[in-house]
Amino acid sequence: MSELLRFATAGSVDDGKSTLIGRLLFDSKSIFEDQMTSVADASERMGLDAPNLALLTDGLRAEREQGITIDVAYRYFATPKRKFIIADTPGHVQYTRNMVTGASTADLAIVLIDARKGVLEQSRRHAFIASLLRIPHLVIAVNKMDLVDYSEDRFNEIVEEFGSFAAKLDISDLTFIPLSALNGDNVVARSEHMTWFEGSSLLHHLETVHIASDRNLIDARFPVQCVLRPQTEEFHDYRGYAGRVASGVFRSGDEVMVLPSGFTTKIKRIDTFDGEVDGAFAPMSVTLLLEDEIDISRGDMICRPQNQPTSAQDIDAMVCWLADETVLSAGSKLSIKHTTRTARAIVKNLKYRLDINSLHRDESAETLQLNEMGRVSIRTTLPLFFDEYRRSRETGSFILIDEATNATVGAGMILGET
Amino acid sequence: MGCGETIAIFHLQCCGGVVAELAKACGTSLPFLPLFWNGCVVNYELSHLKTLESESIHIIREVAAEFERPVLLFSGGKDSIVMLRLAEKAFWPAKIPFPVMHVDTGHNFEEVYEYRDRRVAELGIKLVIASVQDSIDSGKQVEQKGPRASRNQLQTMTLLDGLEEHGFDAAFGGARRDEEKARSKERVYSFRDEFGQWDPKNQRPELWSLYNGRHLRGEHIRIFPLSNWTELDIWQYIAEDGIEVPNIYYAHEREVFERDGMLLAVTEFVTVMDGEKPETRTVRFRTVGDASCTGAVESDARTVQQVIDEVSATRVTERGATRADDRASEAAMEDRKRQGYF
Ligand SMILES: Nc1nc2c(ncn2[C@@H]2O[C@H](COP(=O)(O)OP(=O)(O)O)[C@@H](O)[C@H]2O)c(=O)[nH]1
Ligand SMILES: [Mg+2]
């Protein structure tokens, strides 16, 4: 059985993200001949000497014309051990919202650093965003080692420099790998040029990093997506609650509580199209049948009576603002989507804006503009059933929607009740 | 999924009882209790196919719950067949709560029509046909001329008209991100303006599994539940689930001729030009679309397993091997999508 690992690549422009992805795809034989031909043709038309592997992921006309990555591209490859989904994210500040799109579901992030340039503002910003989004594993890939003579000293300098910054962040698993994406050193196989490095190659790390325990299997949470009532002869009284387990484990026979009503009952059965299951865990999509008839609808949350999410209308969260035409400020009214619940929200206040580079908190700030982040207190029209984001990405996250333009304008990570 | 060893199951069941009591006292289901699925022990790990399946089902249910009039675009190809099966799974034992729409160029293979009609009858759902022929007959569209004529380009307008006529506000498509470089950039919920256009430089951020389907009247959202599936995943799933696909996906003898490095089937819909020599070869289709621009590949793969082996070893992408429409230019797909294509 092969597992799925999602990872995002980030880093400053020209640090070698696209080259690295090209290398991983190439060495795992996931680049096809026609793709290679089309890249070679395009490179030639652009007057390049060698095929530019970046063209594999920079798929939009505008990206090719400008030679930059604007939006996240998804690529897929597999080894006998795992199947991988790569989100190749843009490095420029103005496309941060596209970066968070790609990174929000990642199990692991790779931040590339050019060995010659060392830790740049972009590298810090990306590492910070990765920690804020609580991507469980972070790899700092010190690239272009071939251009610094594969120097151990240079690598250690960067490890130290980044390490002192990382100490201020909340990163649970941090790994440094020196590599040359261009030549393939430490990408798939361990490099002969860097025998001083005792860690594993990047691909080996991706194949073996332990992700099963990243999921929250403790807090049983089941946001109801819809109610299934076939009303056919065969399933006359069938009433199932369809959804995806957000975290934790549910078993038939478990005592459960339904929010907001607070009624308790037991799980009668857990159904899937492929048959009844004894239990369901995140991220399985199943249908729960309950012992008692309770009024339950979309947006309700099924949990355990002794382990409930916080239910509140006043919520503090870190918010990343994603809109260029509007700003967030006290008094902003927005639509909020959290699990399967939609409500309206008003921003009570902006406690501080965070300078992503210095991590300084600016408490005098009155707005959040495009790609800025800050701690915000909101009040919602309905209670939300949430956990702290650090405990559960599924029940701790929300998006904010502009009610006039319908655009997704904010991404929120819940800190707790105000 | 293979069953765990009997001894392990027995052991875990024994201590499971005690731990279950403990768990009850703590109010949690402790994760280290064994779980059974189809009689097998599972250790809280999902295979990559089950993970993809669950993600797709979640998306399909979100759409059914939040949109007024969704529709599933069904082409009879393997991706839309898998998508339809996922929709069936999402709502079982209830019926799929939306109709399917076939944008029919009139130039499809007989096997595809048969399959479509049988499947729709089985599921008891409504089939809407948006016909390119009708658009031509009513004078809305003009048939391309010459031996290279194809109805592929004409599909876009028929599709958009079909969506508008029925007031559909969400349309499920079976596109995958591994298919093509413009697709690899597209969101799961892909916003389309009142002209059905995709604006690749202005896509909505899409975080976690929180999808924003809000839109104004006249606008709609294309939904791609198979975004993260690859061609190989699709075939592995077809094998694992025992899904039937039209037999033109498996190797068979067929009269074909070469054009632009592709093998086109000799049908009433294409004109064989001077110098093109039809001959019988053993082929199968990797994609199924309009017969005038979908190429076959030489293949001996007659079973699902043989197809999986072939797809695992292939060195050419599915669209590169078989789709004339993508060869027009480097950004052919992006341009068509901007205009409202699938
Ligand atoms: N010498 C050397 N050059 C590299 C390496 N990795 C990338 N490059 C070059 O750095 C430039 C930028 O790489 P690219 O992958 O486009 O960077 P991106 O902007 O992060 O995607 C290209 O000219 C690459 O050939 C490396 O390991 N060694
Ligand atoms: Mg790049």
The model's pLDDT over B86-98, given as tens digits with 9 standing for 90+, comes to 999 999 999 999 9
Whether residue A42 lies within 8 A of chain B, CB to CB, comes out as yes
Q: Which residue has the higher pLDDT, A154 or A183?
A: A154
| Calpha distance A334→A351 (Å, rounded) | 18
Q: How confident is the model at residue B279 (pLDDT cuts 50, 70, 90)?
A: very high
* 3-class SS of residue A313: strand
Compute the average pLDDT of residues B140-157. Answer: 77
* CB of A180 closer than 6 angstroms to any ligand 1 atom: yes
Q: What is the pLDDT of residue B11?
A: 28
Q: From ligand 2's centre to the CA of A87, what distance in Å?
A: 11
Give the per-residue pLDDT at B274: 84
The answer to whether the CB atoms of B201 and A71 lie below 8 A apart is yes
What was the pLDDT predicted at A249?
Answer: 95
- Whole-angstrom CA distances from B147 to B143, B144, B293, B294 are 12, 9, 12, 15
Q: Give the mean pLDDT of A122-126.
A: 89
Most confident of B158-162, B205-209, B257-261: B205-209
Q: How far apart are CA A151 and CA A147, in angstroms?
A: 9
Do A292 and A258 touch, CB atoms closer than 8 A?
A: no
Task: Give the pLDDT score at A201.
Answer: 96
B94 touches chain A (CB under 8 A): yes
Q: Which residues of B touch A317 (CB under 8 A)?
A: none
Residue type (1 letter), A108: L
> Which amino acid, residue A121?
E
Cβ distance of A408 and B320 shorter than 8 Å:
no
Query: Is the link from the previous residue into A260 a cis peptide, with omega within 30 of 0?
Result: yes
Task: Give the pTM.
Answer: 0.91
**Which domains are delineated in chain A?**
3-214 (3.40.50.300), 222-303 (2.40.30.10), 310-417 (2.40.30.10)
**Per-residue pLDDT for A72 more than 50?**
yes
Query: In CATH, which of 1.10.3720.10, 1.10.760.10, 3.40.50.620, 3.30.360.30 is domain B49-230+332-339?
Result: 3.40.50.620
pLDDT of residue B25: 42
Mean pLDDT value across residues B117-123: 95
Residue in the block written with tokens 């250690």: A156
Pick from A56, A101, A248: which is nearest to B206 by CB? A101
Name the band, by pLDDT with cuts 50, 70 and 90, for residue B201.
confident
Please give the average per-residue pLDDT across A71-99, as a whole number.
Answer: 87
Please enumerate in sequence order all residues whose Cβ is within 8 A of that of A45, keeping only pairs 6 or more positions apart, or say none: none
Ligand 1 and A287: CB distance under 6 A: no
Which residues does chain B have within 8 Å of residue A31's beta carbon, measured at their own beta carbons? none
For a mutational test of ligand 1's pocket, the pick from A14, A15, A17, A19, i.e. the residue with the most ligand atoms closer than 8 A to its C-beta, is A19
Q: For residue range B299-338, what is the model confidence (pLDDT) as tens digits?
A: 999 999 999 998 888 777 776 666 666 655 667 777 777 7
Q: What is the pLDDT of residues A185-228, one digit of tens each?
A: 999 999 999 999 999 999 999 999 999 888 899 999 999 999 99
Q: Calculate mean pLDDT across residues B68-95.
A: 96
**B203 to each of A6, A92, A95, A308, A327, how far by Cα in Å?**
21, 16, 11, 36, 18
For chain B, the domains span 12-45, 49-230+332-339, 243-326
CA atoms within 13 A on the CB side of B32: 7
Which of A18, A70, A75, A83 to mutate: most B Cβ within 10 Å?
Answer: A83
Mean pLDDT over A252-264 rounds to 97
A384 vs B: CB within 8 A = no
Percent of chain A with pLDDT over 70: 99
Selection from B205, B119, B104, B116 nearest residue B158 by Cα? B104
Atom of ligand 1 nearest to the CA of A145: 27
What residues have their beta carbon closer than 5 A to ion ligand 2?
A: A 17-18, 54, 69
Judging contacts by C-beta atoms under 8 Å, the chain A residues touching residue B36 are 277-279
pLDDT tens-digit map of B2-21: 333 322 222 233 333 334 44
Rg (CA), chain A: 24
pLDDT of residue B322: 65
Residues of B in contact with A223 (CB under 8 A): none
Neighbours of B34 (CB within 10 A): 19
- % of residues, chain B, pLDDT over 90: 49
User: A228 and chain B: CB distance < 8 Å anywhere?
Assistant: yes
Which residue has a Cα nearest atom 23 of ligand 1? Answer: A14
- What percent of chain A has a predicted confidence (pLDDT) above 90? 72
Between B81 and A44, the higher pLDDT residue: B81
Over chain A, what is the mean pLDDT?
92
pLDDT tens, residue by residue, A375-395: 999 999 999 999 999 999 999
Residue type, B3: C
- Pick B1 or A355 by higher pLDDT: A355
Count of other CB atoms within 10 angstroms of residue A306: 12
Question: Is the interface score ipTM higher than 0.90?
Answer: yes
pLDDT digits (tens, 9 = 90+) for A27-67: 877 777 777 777 788 778 878 777 777 677 677 777 777 77
